[in-house]
């Protein structure tokens, strides 16, 4: 970019400035290898600058791809128009909501996927699908290289590049933001100089946002000050719990074999159901998470999440799973759940262990049929009622408070004697010679 930030690639090569020319990974493109680029385009500042920058710096053609994963309020036709205006040969807008819900979010639900105790992985789940579509459209449009707008500090570069490199070893990758050393100011200057419209003025977005139908994240800016509570202006999806309705709302989520199929008795397709859950939750202030997170690249970061749909659906799913699972399954599955979440967080969507785990998740979820009623009230989601044909719960057996239960209390002392045998022996040995042993 000959605008005085770095000078053109040719100038840099002459000066021996290798910062952005040096290729590290085998799949990264050398400047000379880039003829036509498939750019993952969001319409934001980074990827808009990139759309122009790639044409100038590589003398390459650019085909843009914008993926709809249910980002609320996004105007995809505007994004497309912007790409074409900036010189893209074409801009494909793909509505991938259905595939995202079915093949990415549903397995996450079956695995109760939560990373670090609070992050339902919406971004991490979206990246492998975006990468898959990038490969598909790159091949279809005769591109030799895929470009993305991830920085060198985050997890998203790992997820996209790991997936692209697995699916399409023949394609090269470039990640200009990682090397171009422009900050926001320089990018805005570049945009001005090249007639790139900058959305909402220059001071506006103090945060880095990523969202889809499974949640929304904000990072950066004032959020990085972990000694301060979140500012009000971060939250645009979920109502402040304080401002949520004073009346609680009961919602029933129904599942068939682990898949959510109805809300309050109304059967809905998965995308619609997740969107509906999101709306109801948002109204009640549900799903705000202030998360200190261990990134896969070593950094700790603070994320502010708004995840109303995930809070509702995961809470219900977990509750139902617990009702139909044995004590052994219920003790064991959370360990595999957390392994599942870690692999997905870490960008290893194509790791075979993940499909091994999916087989286990599917097997357990065969029994997860029934419904959970949740109470939503001022930011909280609480299960308050359950029903399932597969519940391992039988009030006739328990018969608490009456003597008439079918459960044989006479059998209990024999059980206790054997169950506690080793522990009692060990206790005696460790206390040999002490008083009272
Ligand atoms: N911390 C989350 C993750 O690593 C969210 C990242 C959101 N990305 C963004 N560009 N703001 O998945």
Domain layout of the chain by residue ranges: 2-204, 209-325+367-387, 395-430
In the annotation, is 11 catalytic? no
Q: What is the pLDDT of residue 306?
A: 98
Q: Catalytic one among 80, 97, 156, 211?
A: 156
- Determine which residue's CA is closest to atom 9 belonging to ligand 1: 210
The pLDDT assigned to 198 comes to: 85
Cβ atoms within 10 A of the Cβ of 81, count?
A: 13
Ligand 1 centre distance from Cα of residue 153 (Å): 11
Instruction: Indicate which residue of 9, 46, 311, 337 is catalytic.
Output: 46
Residue nearest to atom 1 of ligand 1 (CA): 303
> What percent of the chain shows pLDDT beyond 90?
86
Task: Please tell me the distance from the alpha carbon of residue 195 to that of residue 192, in angstroms, as a whole number.
Answer: 5
Give residue 115 CA to ligand 1 midpoint distance, Å. Answer: 12
Residue 121 alpha carbon, nearest atom of ligand 1? 12
Mean pLDDT estimate for the chain: 93
Segment 243-265, tens digit of pLDDT: 999 999 999 999 999 999 999 99
pLDDT of residue 202: 55
pTM summary value: 0.93
403 counts as catalytic: no
Phi and psi torsions of 95, nearest 5°: -85, 100
For ligand 1, the distance from its centroid to the CA atom of residue 63, given in whole angstroms, is 25
CA of 120 to the centre of ligand 1 (A): 11
156 in active site: yes
Instruction: Give the pLDDT of residue 203.
Output: 57
Gap between the Cα atoms of 310 and 128, Å rounded: 19
Question: Quick one: pLDDT at residue 396?
Answer: 87
CATH for 209-325+367-387 is 3.90.1260.10
Among candidate residues 94, 338, 100, 49, the one with its CA nearest the CA of residue 211: 100
Give the closest residue (by CA) to ligand 1 atom 10. Answer: 210
Please count the residues of the chain. Answer: 437
Is 394 in the active site?
no
Residue stretches of the chain with pLDDT short of 50: 1-7, 10, 13, 15-18, 437
| Token digits of residue 17 | 């400035």
The class of domain 2-204 in CATH terms is: alpha beta
> What pLDDT sits at residue 11?
52
What is the per-residue pLDDT across 391-411, written as a single tens digit (0 to 9) for each?
A: 999 888 877 666 667 888 899
- Fold match, 2-204 / 209-325+367-387: no
Ligand 1 site-directed mutation target among 43, 210, 211, 221, most atoms within 8 Å of CB: 210
Q: 172-174 and 145-147 as β-strands: parallel, antiparallel, unpaired? A: parallel
Ligand 1 binding pocket (C-beta < 6 A) is 123-124, 155-156, 208, 210, 217, 219, 293, 303
For the record, the structure tokens of 295 come out as 């990134």
pLDDT tens digits, residue range 137-165? 999 999 999 999 999 999 999 999 999 99
């Amino acid at each position: 970019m000959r605008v005085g930030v770095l000078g053109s690639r040719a100038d840099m090569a002459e000066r021996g400035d290798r910062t952005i020319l040096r290729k590290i990974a085998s799949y990264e493109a050398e400047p000379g290898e880039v003829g036509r680029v498939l750019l993952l385009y969001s319409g934001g500042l980074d990827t808009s600058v990139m759309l122009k920058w790639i044409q100038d710096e590589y003398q390459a053609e650019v085909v843009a791809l914008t993926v709809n994963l249910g980002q609320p309020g996004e105007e995809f036709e505007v994004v497309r128009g912007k790409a074409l205006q900036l010189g893209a040969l074409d801009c494909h807008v793909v509505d991938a909501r259905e595939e995202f819900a079915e093949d990415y979010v549903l397995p996450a639900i079956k695995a109760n996927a939560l990373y670090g105790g609070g992050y339902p992985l919406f971004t991490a789940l979206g990246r492998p699908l975006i990468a898959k579509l990038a490969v598909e459209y790159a091949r279809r449009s005769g591109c030799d290289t895929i470009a993305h707008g991830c920085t060198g500090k985050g997890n998203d570069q790992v997820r996209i590049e790991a997936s692209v490199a697995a699916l399409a070893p023949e394609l090269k990758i470039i990640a200009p933001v990682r090397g171009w050393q422009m900050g926001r100011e320089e990018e805005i200057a570049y945009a001005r100089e090249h007639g790139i419209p900058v959305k909402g003025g220059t001071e506006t977005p103090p945060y880095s946002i990523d969202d889809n139908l499974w949640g929304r994240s904000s990072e950066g800016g004032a959020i990085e000050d972990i000694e301060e509570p979140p500012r009000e202006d971060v939250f645009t999806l979920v109502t402040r719990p304080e401002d949520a309705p004073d009346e609680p709302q009961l919602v029933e989520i129904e599942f068939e074999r682990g898949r959510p199929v109805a809300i309050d008795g109304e059967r809905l397709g998965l995308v619609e159901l997740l969107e509906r859950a999101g709306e109801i939750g948002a109204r009640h202030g549900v799903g705000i998470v202030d998360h200190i997170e261990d990134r896969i690249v070593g950094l700790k970061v603070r994320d502010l999440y708004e995840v109303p749909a995930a809070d509702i659906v995961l809470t219900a799913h977990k509750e139902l799973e617990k009702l139909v699972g044995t004590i052994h399954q219920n003790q064991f599955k959370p360990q595999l759940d957390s392994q599942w979440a870690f692999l997905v967080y870490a960008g290893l969507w194509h790791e075979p262990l993940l499909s091994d785990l999916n087989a286990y998740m599917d097997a357990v979820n065969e029994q997860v049929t029934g419904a959970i009623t949740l109470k939503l009230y001022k930011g909280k989601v609480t299960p308050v009622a359950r029903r399932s044909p597969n519940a391992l719960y039988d009030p006739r057996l328990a018969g608490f408070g009456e003597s008439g239960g079918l459960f044989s209390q006479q059998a209990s002392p024999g059980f206790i004697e054997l169950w506690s045998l080793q522990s009692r022996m060990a206790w005696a040995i460790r206390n040999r010679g002490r008083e009272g042993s």
